[in-house]
Amino acid sequence: MKIKLLAACAVVAFAASPVLAQTTPPASDPAMTSSAAPASDPAKASATAETGTAANTAATATDLKVGASVSDSAGAAIGTISKVGKGSGGDTMVTLKANGKTKTVPASSLSLSGGSLVSSQTKADIWGPQ
């Protein structure tokens, strides 16, 4: 009877060992904590997506539509797109409109973050001090 009980305990301990081995390292151990992954490591870079934060990505031509709202990184509304075209150097330019004023900015200064267009310039940079 003792041998059967001992054998049963050994089987349970053996089966539970992978579960018990999956522990979270203490936060004080810097060798075991994760850090920001370089973009060159796709396996680690995908961890950013798991956090629920949206990363900025370059705005594409399909994102730059007339009527689309643009804000700055602080969330201040800058204006809406009134025109998309080519500049004198062949670069794509976007004309923003707000309060009856227009301002043309390079499309490269706009990115997509969480489905919204965000300018790398602040509202004050584009429209001047208010």
Taking residues 35-55, report their average pLDDT: 46
Taking residues 114-121, report their average pLDDT: 92
Catalogue all structural domains in the chain, each as residue range(s) with its CATH number: 57-124 (2.30.30.240)
Residue 111 has pLDDT above 60, yes or no: yes
Per residue, what are the HEC states of 24-80?
CCCCCCCCCCCCCCCCCCHHHHCHHHHCCCCCCEECCCCCCCCCCEEEECCCCEEEE
Instruction: Point out which residues pair with 103 in neighbouring strands.
Output: 96
Residue 35 has pLDDT above 90, yes or no: no
Q: How confident is the model at residue 75 (pLDDT cuts 50, 70, 90)?
A: very high
- Which residue, among 62, 52, 57, 61, has the nearest Cα to 118 in the 3D structure? 57
